[in-house]
Structure 1
Amino acid sequence: MADTSQKKSGGLGETISVIVQALLLALVIRTLLFQPFSIPSGSMRPTLLEGDYLFVTKWAYGYSKHSMPFSPDLFEGRIWGGQPERGDVAVFKFPPNPSLDYIKRVIGLPGDRVQMRDGQIIINGEPVEREKVGEVNNPDVTEMNRPVEVWRETLPNGVSYETLDLTPNGIGDNTREFVVPEGHYFMMGDNRDNSTDSRFSVGFVPEDHLVGRANIIFFSIAGGASPLEIWKWPSELRASRLFNMVR
């Protein structure tokens, strides 16, 4: 009986040890390497859609307290810091409420002067190249039951991506000139007329609020369905978006 008891005790202890090790490994991976992130809104359409699930590269910009779950106040600033490049799609903590994660595109770097004029970005006095490439009439992409204009922007460093223009002369199409402070970034959503970003309440994003760079879409499902609702996959799974790099 003693041998049986010792085996049961040893088996339980080994199981607990394996679970603890697995949890610690998952915590290390999430903190230092990759963090899964789901798209909560339509502000980055057409680049990212609600129902996209992606991995965020944590080491891309170094680490701050916001790199860890619950943002423990362990240290200030960033360690092993890397600078975002103009055009990166980045996850960051919402400055007015760091408990919230936002995802936008990096448009302005420290020291830049950024302004919107008639829907065109002006960086340091130079208009960003912008051309209309067509229209899209797909509510899953635009959230609209009508055709929507699609414009391609090319930033000064050559990064190129598509944006939506839901409303000509929208509220964010003409702004004052923003001067980005040192240690901060100016963020914008690709869905220009439906994005709360640095033109509005987000403001300038401090570098220690950066969480990581969006890397790859590993799953995507439409219609507000959960990935766990496997029976909806045949009709709602966006197979063409799986394993797409985020650009």
Structure 2
Amino acid sequence: MNAEIDTRIVRGACPHDCPDTCAFEYHVKNGKLVEVTGDKNHPMTQGRLCVKLKDFASHHYNPDRILTPMKRVGPKGSRQFEPIIWDEALSTIRDKWSGVIAEYGSQAIMPHAYLGHQGVLNGLTAGDAFFNRLGSTIAEKTYCESGSSTAWLMTVGPSGGLDIESFVHAKYIIVWGMNMTSTNIHGWPFIVRAQEAGAKVVVIDPVRTRTAKAADWHVQIKPGTDGALALGPK
């Protein structure tokens, strides 16, 4: 039996903490993952994967990968942990929380979580019903983007971002403080297509990045002067 017959393709998505959720093709040979490549047929990610996915198959089988709950058995910082089963982990959490609630009340429990690799449905709402029923303190849950999200709401309002696939129809594009060729590998191709169709691309960045070099106009401001520039145009 040749290698092509032995190997099958399983489609999936990247499990890392990133909103792009790149479409994957998992190459499985004789029941074992041997390679991961991007799905070129996906309309958004188009087969492009970031460097975090290099050697993903070997990461999957890394002997240091955590596969069970780990319980700390030494002082904090000692890195002394031992694997335990899920029943023990859940019982330990229940006992600890019961003690906290009995002494301080349920609001002493405050969940702190974010998207991670759970996606929008699970990541943003996971556990909400449970913690509401528990009567715990409900906060932002994450401080990952709280500052930028608050600034967006105060300046733009409750509006989502632009559909990045619509960038191909734009005539004038401003990339402010972002090295898209390195940090937004799925958005940049749409800007290139717009540029090829005649759009002007302006990059505002103190650093002469690869993105700045590809722009029609690089506005190389001094660090910390973004606010002055933003308030300047009339």
**Same-fold call, TM cutoff 0.5:** no
Say which structure is richer in strand: 1
Query: Which TM-score tier does this pair reach, normalised by the shorter chain?
Result: under 0.3
The higher-RCO structure (CA 8 Å, 6+ apart) is 1
Give the TM-score taking structure 2 as reference length. Answer: 0.20
User: Could you say which structure has the larger radius of gyration?
Assistant: 2
